[in-house]
Structure formats: C-alpha cells, structure tokens
Structure 1
Amino acid sequence: MEAALVVLVVALALGFDYTNGFHDAANAIATSVSTRALTPRVALVMAAVMNFAGALLGTEVAETIAKSIVALDHASTSTELTVVLCALVGAIVWNLITWWFGLPSSSTHSLIGGLVGAGMAGGLPIFWSAIVDKVVLPMVLSPLIGFVLAFAVMIGILWIFRNAAPARTHRRFRIAQTASAAAMALGHGLQDAQKTMGVIFLALLSVGWADPANGIPLWVKLAAAAAISLGTYSGGWRIMRTLGRRIIELDPARGFVAETVSAVVLYANAFILHAPVSTTHTITSAIMGVGATRRLSAVRWGVAKNIAVAWVLTIPASAAVAAAATWLVTVW
C-alpha cells in the first residue's frame, strides 16, 4: 500500500511539474515573443532546454521545500504520504484554474500553500517561522525589488542610448533578448523544478527509499528536469498574452531589462538565500517596472490588479483545496 502511494505521489509530482512548465513557460519567453526577438516555437525550444539545464544546477531550494514547510517526521508513513499527495492535488487544481483564466499566478506558492493546508488538515506541525523567513518575506520583497531594479536599470538604459538611432538600438536589443530570455529560463528551471524534487524527496524519505545524508537522488533530478521541460515546450499561450501584451506593450530594450533583472533576482534567491521565490511574481513586477518608465498610465493597472488578486489568493486557495482533499481522503 505504501509503495503504491509513493508511486502515485511521484506521478502526481511530475504531473505538477509538467503543469508548472506550461503554466510558467510565459515567464521566460513572453517578453521575447511579444517584441518579436524570437518566434514562439524557437522561444519554447530554447526555454525547454534552459529549464532542463537550470533544474540540474542545485538542490538548495528543494531542500527548503522538503525540510522547512511541514514536519512530516511526527506522523505515520501513510499520513505523511497522504499529506504530500493532497498538497499536490491542491497545487495542481489551482494551477489549472489560473491557467484557464490566463492569470500568471505562482506555482511555487500553490505548492507551498498545498503543503500547509494538507499538513494542517493532517494534524502535522507547520514551521511557521521558516515559512515567514523563506516564503512570505521573499514573496513580498522579490516583486518590489524586481519593480524598483527594473525601473532603475531602464532609466539608465534610456539615458545611455538617448542619442542612439532607435531602429539600430531596437535591433541590437532584440539580439540581446536571446541571451536574457535564456537566462530567465535557466532561473525558472533552477527555482521551479527544484520544488518538485523536494516533494518527491519528501515521499521517498517517508518510506526510507532515500537517505537524507546523500541528498536528492539523480533520477529525481532528471525526472523533474524532464517534466518541466516537456511542460514548457507544450507552451502557455493564455498567460503569454497576459504577460507579453496586456500589462504593457513592450519594446526590445524593456523586454531585455525585465528578463535580465528577473534572472538576477531568481539566481540570488536560489544560490544565496535558498528561498523558493516565484518566477511569475518576479517577471511580472519587472515588466511593470520597465513599463512605468514611459509613464505610470502606460501600465494597464487594471490587469495588474487582477494578477495581484491571484497572487494573494494563491496560498490560501491551494491550501483550502489541499485541506479539503486531505479531509476527504481521511474520512473515506
């Protein structure tokens, strides 16, 4: 029975990773596609390859997910597996709902919300202080830093190229966007694929199929990397339209700055803070930052408000779905 539950958890985790890929593919490539720096198909292939590479660069974020959200070592093996399983259900359901409505919500926070909701419903201790330090503070600060940094860098770019020929400048930034989009996709794989690794690692630890001292097995890393890459290649056109055009019409220079700033924020959180931040929040706030350099009214704040509502709802909504799933499984 426990072995079957582990297999089911692994399958659902990889399914979540796949939905994460097509849900968040827009994060890496929407700006490049909207400015015509890359064609949609070329951008998706590039993003899929870089997602795979990024997923193999580290495990620090995965360790945070596995050890700093819910205390699974205080329960029976069946309870542990049920909590992880229902956490994934909550995350996947919220991902699909926001994808359907074209809202770029955070797969990161839907998974964390799922773990919190399922853990509470399962009667397990929650590491609230770690959640505040590793989730809540980065969730608030990363978009603010992304907005301010993108705004400042864009002002600097406008000043540096103030006397340059617009056509030539746009052409150069279109070429540069190939590199910035690749950097963004690498950061997406570095952050988001690791969360799935962390969940699978939790399931394996619960039944003794993995040794904490040896870290995450290689097959888990490869499977998570492959799932998010396949999901990315399948595309996320609804959300791509929202990020690429509905917030603001981007030009190549602004697209380059938004992607570069977002990549820097993702790398800093992964390698320095080991914090699971949202690629969605980061790129969206950076797009708003570069857009605000035109004028504040250039940003479609109504669309931004709808996105912000989805951000606020993500953790409690996915937690509620996961808690309901846990209660149903327990009663049944």
Structure 2
Amino acid sequence: MSPELIAVLAVILAAMAFDYTNGFHDAANAIATSVSTRALTPRVALAMAAVGNFVGAHFGAEVAKTVGDGLVKLPVGIPSLGVVFAGVVGAIAWNLITWYFGLPSSSSHALFGGLVGATLFATHGTVEWDTILVKVLIPMVASPFVGFLLGFAVMVGIMWAFRRGQPGKLNRGFRIAQTISAAFMSVGHGMQDAAKTMGIIVLALYTGGFQDSATDIPWWVFWTSAAVLAAGTYAGGWRIIRTLGRKIIDLGPAEGFAAEMVASSVLFFNALVLHAPISTTHTITSAIMGVGATKRLSAVRWNVAGNIVIAWITTFPAAALIACIVYFAVRPIFG
C-alpha cells in the first residue's frame, strides 16, 4: 500500500468521523421542534431525519463542489493531505466541545474554519478569500437575520389566517403538518451537511493524486457520506435537542411548523440556487427565535440565545486554532 493511499485513507476516515459527529451534533436541527411539541416521538423523529439526510445528500453535489474546490487550493501531494486531515480533526474537536455543553454551533463553520486554519498555518496552500467571503462569511451573517425575519413573518401569517380556529383542533392539525415540515428539514440538512463531507473526500482524492478533478464526485462518496450522516443522526444529540426544543422558547405545534418550513426553505434555496454551503444550525435556531418573538420579545430566552450567538462567533476561529495545533502535531507524519 503506497504512502499516498494510506494518507488518503486517513483523511477519508477522519471525514467519516466528522460526518458522524455532524449527524448526532446536528440531529437537533431537523427534529428538536417536532419532539418538543410531541408531534413525533424521539426515535420516530430520528429515524425520519436519518432517512431524510440520506436522501438529501444525493442532491448536494453543487455544495460539495464548492467545498472541494472553492475554499482552499492545495497542491497535489502527501503534505496537502496533512492539511486536510488537520482541518477535519479541528472540526471534529469543536463539534465534541460544543456538543458537551449543549450548544448548537455550526458543524459547517467548524469544518471551514479548520480547513482555512490548517491551510494558513501550512503556508503551501492558498485560501480562496473571495469564495470564503461570498459563500461562507456573508451567509454566516445573513442567514440568522433571514431566518429570524422569515420566521417572524410566517408565524404572523399563520396567527392571522387561523385567528378564529379552535386551539385544540389547530394543534392536532399542526402536529400532523410538522411531520411534513420535519421531513423537509431533514432533507435540507442532508443536502447541505453530507455534501460538505463529500467535498472533503473529493479534495483528499484530488490532492492525493487519485483523480484529476476536485469537483468530480464518485458514486461511492455519495453513498458513504449519506449513510454515515444518517447513522450519526439516528444516534441523536440529545443535549442540543433539549437546547433547541425547550430552552429558547416554549414551542407549540404551529410555531414548530413555521420554524421548520422557514429553515428548510432557506436550506433548499441556498443548496439548489446559490450552491452556498450555509449552516443548518444558524438557520433553524434563528427561525425559532423569530417565531417566538411573535408572542412577545420576552418569550425568547435571550440569555440562552446569547450563549448560542457566542458559540456561532467563536466556531470559525476556534476550529481554525485547533486545526493549526493538530497540523503542527501531524506534519512530521505527512511529510
């Protein structure tokens, strides 16, 4: 077995580990609202989210190409594989830290931060700052505002449309509707987050010299990335589910439906139209806040929201710093 193949396999295994942590870390994105409103039981919700993630992954090719070829440029060779490996491990470490504290940070931005940090430290690659700005940093700032405003607007529309309805009957109806909105949310999550792992694997294949393009995605990459993300999702991330589903606002079925439909719509638009790898975590969390604000601003537990925002802000630089440390440790191994 050649050194290049060993190095590529090491990166692929690290990418699969990230994919799995992404699944249980971000399972809350798809199911927290449905579980908290009792629209779905936890295991049924997780199973549905796992299937949705698997399906959605097969529609995320353009997002994967952005990650594999648009964020950093690395020359072919084993040292570049060390950069990718360090970036992925940095993202895994940050995922585990934020999962432990129950903070719904962005696995996507952890991956991007890790990859950028390791590339800057290595000095033999270049960061595509134009792409980072347009497809990472701007969406990172814009998506919470869009999610909040759309969540607020959609919830106001629902409240007006059903203002004369019977609460008990409406709750039963929206619990059924949440099955659909949660399914859309899980497909959108797979479309975004499995694609990011796919992009890393393709980048590893390219820098290892096993394919000539950083945008061609072999069929087995779709299947493995989708399956591992689905498995991680089914394992669940209960700490973060509790934060999103219970600690930000007291969600009812109508609020849960509104938040999920807003978030899934934003995910679909960015994946299929803009090809931008946005954060599912930012989108659903801000949508929940916007929905909650229709009751009254004090309905949102802003102290919890503040902790989440701090995690958002620190994710990119923290993952970058961890990746730098990891690269320093593994550089002698990768040459």
* TM-score (normalizing by structure 2): 0.97
- Give unmatched runs, 5+ long, in structure 2: none
Deviations along 1:92-124, one digit per CA (max 9) or x if unpaired, are: 000000000000000000000000000001102
Compute the displacement of 1:143 (Å): 1.1
Match of 1:38 among 40, 45, 59: 40
Q: Is the 8 A contact 1:210 1:217 kept in 2?
A: no
State the alpha-carbon separation in 1 of the partners of residues 183 and 210 from structure 2: 35
Matched, 1:194 2:192: no
Compute the displacement of 1:208 (Å): 2.5
In the alignment, what sits opposite 2:233?
Answer: 232
Compute the displacement of 1:329 (Å): 2.2
In the alignment, what sits opposite 1:2?
Answer: 4
Give the letter aligned to residue 212 of structure 1: S
In the alignment, what sits opposite 2:120?
Answer: 120
Compute the displacement of 1:222 (Å): 0.3
Q: Is the 8 A contact 1:270 1:276 kept in 2?
A: yes
Q: Is the 8 A contact 2:108 2:196 kept in 1?
A: yes
Compute the displacement of 1:331 (Å): 5.4
How many aligned positions are there?
330
In the alignment, what sits opposite 1:96?
Answer: 96
Give the letter aligned to residue 149 of structure 1: L
In the alignment, what sits opposite 1:286?
Answer: 287
Compute the displacement of 1:273 (Å): 0.8
Corresponding residue SS for 1:262: helix
Compute the displacement of 1:330 (Å): 2.6
Q: Is the 8 A contact 2:60 2:194 kept in 1?
A: no
State the alpha-carbon separation in 1 of the partners of residues 69 and 37 from structure 2: 41
In the alignment, what sits opposite 1:276?
Answer: 277
Give the letter aligned to residue 79 of structure 2: T
Give the letter aligned to residue 170 of structure 2: T
Q: Percent identity?
A: 60
In the alignment, what sits opposite 2:314?
Answer: 313
Q: Is the 8 A contact 2:174 2:254 kept in 1?
A: yes
Q: Is the 8 A contact 1:113 1:317 kept in 2?
A: yes
Q: Is the 8 A contact 2:91 2:111 kept in 1?
A: yes
CA RMSD of aligned residues (A): 1.1
In the alignment, what sits opposite 1:110?
Answer: 110
Compute the displacement of 1:328 (Å): 2.2
In the alignment, what sits opposite 2:77?
Answer: 77
* TM-score (normalizing by structure 1): 0.98
State the alpha-carbon separation in 1 of the partners of residues 215 and 67 from structure 2: 17
- The 3 A distance-change label for structure 1 pair 323 and 214 is closer
In the alignment, what sits opposite 1:58?
Answer: 60
Matched, 1:205 2:206: yes
In the alignment, what sits opposite 1:299?
Answer: 300
State the alpha-carbon separation in 2 of the partners of residues 23 and 213 from structure 1: 27
Give the letter aligned to residue 175 of structure 1: I
In the alignment, what sits opposite 1:218?
Answer: 219
Compute the displacement of 1:214 (Å): 7.5
Give the letter aligned to residue 260 of structure 2: E
State the alpha-carbon separation in 2 of the partners of residues 60 and 93 from structure 1: 27
Corresponding residue SS for 2:156: helix
- Give unmatched runs, 5+ long, in structure 1: none
Give the letter aligned to residue 101 of structure 1: F
In the alignment, what sits opposite 1:157?
Answer: 158
Compute the displacement of 1:68 (Å): 1.3
Deviations along 1:118-138, one digit per CA (max 9) or x if unpaired, are: 000110211111100010011
